[in-house]
Amino acid sequence: MSKRVFFGCATKGAWILMVAMMLQSCGFVKDKFGGKNSKGGKGGKKGAKQEVGVRNGEIIATGRKDYKQDTPFGMVLIPSGSFMMGQADEDVAATQVNFNRRVTITSFYMDDTEVTNNEYRQFVASLMTDSLSVLGEEEIISKYHPDTTVWKKDFTYHNGDPMLEYYYSHPAFDTYPVVGVSWKAARYFSEWRSNLYNDYRAKEGKYRSPKFRLPTEAEWEWAARGGRASAKYPWGNPYVANGKGCFLANFKPQRGNYDADGYPYTAPANAYNANDYGLYNMAGNVAEWTLDAYADNATIVNWDMNPMNDNPDEPRKIVRGGSWKDVAYFLETGTRGWEYEDNKRSFIGFRCVVENLAGRAATSRGRRR
């Protein structure tokens, strides 16, 4: 055999060995539980259906391969990752309550828009139909029906009558974000949505889905950045308008001028461009409830893996993203704010998330070749 042939064979062998080592280091390892290269367990044949239970006095239960988590309608998958949570720009006033630190977030699904008036009306209608005898009409109206009077109560000397009368009920605002909803009502909506979805899945013989819920503050910020490290806004840095002078969100761009961005009040939930994760209006339009209770030192005391400040005794809950009535500072991805959990505002809405169970088991980073 010539040296050239021998050298070619050796090189080919080295490449095969290198690829094998890389696959092992990234999780492509044979295992008895039906992994990437598994043959379905001891004694199994390639392509054979996995066995579950006990046979010949031995436990042979392997992973159930027929499970696949479905993407709920209107949601997008947010990947797992690590980022510097906190201020994305110099902010002397907030320095002591918004320290920067690195955290890790596991994958989840998130509504691509804020929950709209028409979507929320399905919830209220269901309560009036199915829960009237349990909750009573007075409780449904006072706790879960949007408070339309916020359009007058939130602002002194303001003609909010047209918004009060038409915003929630008129078809002209069907696809606009629901407002006048408390933190508690947003959580109850999430529970109702979970039951509705899983009741259907049970009838279809499908596995239960993880529940809908509000995002944590850290999840919200990770999603808002859209994969852009240290981004000041969901679209990046550092301006609130593009090269043509068009504003990139719905907020208060000029003193006394709410209309310069195209909408004097709220905008449709899918207005403006989505960020790189496919999420609309993560800055402006309406601020959004998160799951966390507010604490000045939350960024210090919370764990760095999926952090959340779960304090039921603290009535102040975190809101993020800024709204149609706010200046640009509140649109920044790192800006924190809060509101009392029972309060309802004309500038606060919400969106839901769902755990990605597969994302907690293995990420694309752990599976790369």
Q: Can you give the CATH number for the domain in which 163 is found?
A: 3.90.1580.10
DSSP states of 330-349: GGSTT--EEEETT---TTEE
pLDDT tens, the chain, 369 aa long: 544 444 455 455 555 555 555 555 555 444 455 444 444 444 444 444 555 688 888 888 887 777 889 999 999 999 999 998 888 776 656 556 677 889 999 999 999 999 999 999 999 999 999 999 899 999 999 999 999 999 999 999 999 999 999 999 999 999 999 999 999 999 999 999 999 999 999 999 999 999 999 999 999 999 999 999 888 999 998 899 998 999 999 999 999 899 999 999 999 999 999 999 999 999 999 999 999 999 987 777 788 899 999 999 999 999 999 999 999 999 999 999 999 999 999 999 999 999 999 877 655 454 433
- What angle (nearest 5°) sits at the alpha carbon of residue 219, between those of residues 307 and 174? 145
For residue 67, tell me if it sits in a domain. no
* CA pair distance 158, 360, nearest whole angstrom: 48
Neighbours of 360 (CB within 10 A): 14
* CA pair distance 197, 212, nearest whole angstrom: 9
Residue type, 102: R
- Give Cα 181 distance to the centre of its chain: 18
Contact 279, 219 (CB under 8 A): no
Single out the residue of 169, 161, 70, 71 nearest to residue 120, CA to CA. Answer: 169
pLDDT of residue 32: 53
Q: Is the peptide bond before 238 cis (omega within 30 degrees of 0)?
A: yes
Single out the residue of 103, 85, 81 nearest to residue 277, CA to CA. Answer: 81
* CA pair distance 146, 121, nearest whole angstrom: 9
* Domain count within the chain: 1
Contact 217, 293 (CB under 8 A): no
For residue 369, tell me if it sits in a domain. no
For residue 266, tell me if it sits in a domain. yes
Tokens of 273: 């461009």
Tokens of 120: 């929320």
Give the residue numbers spanning the domain of 304: 75-355
Contact 123, 144 (CB under 8 A): yes
Tokens of 66: 């027929």
Contact 97, 336 (CB under 8 A): yes
Helices (H), the chain: 3-25, 117-130, 132-135, 137-139, 150-153, 161-166, 183-203, 217-225, 298-301, 357-361
pLDDT in tens, 216-250: 999 999 999 999 988 899 999 889 999 899 999 99
| CA distances to 39, 92, 228 from 240, in Å | 54, 21, 16
Contact 225, 82 (CB under 8 A): no
pLDDT of residue 4: 47
| Mode of pairing for the β-strands spanning 81-85 and 101-105 | antiparallel
Contact 108, 351 (CB under 8 A): no
For residue 8, tell me if it sits in a domain. no
For residue 11, tell me if it sits in a domain. no
What percent of the chain stands above pLDDT 70? 81
For residue 116, tell me if it sits in a domain. yes
For residue 43, tell me if it sits in a domain. no
Query: What's the pTM?
Result: 0.84
* CA pair distance 339, 318, nearest whole angstrom: 7
pLDDT of residue 11: 52
pLDDT of residue 369: 34
For residue 190, tell me if it sits in a domain. yes
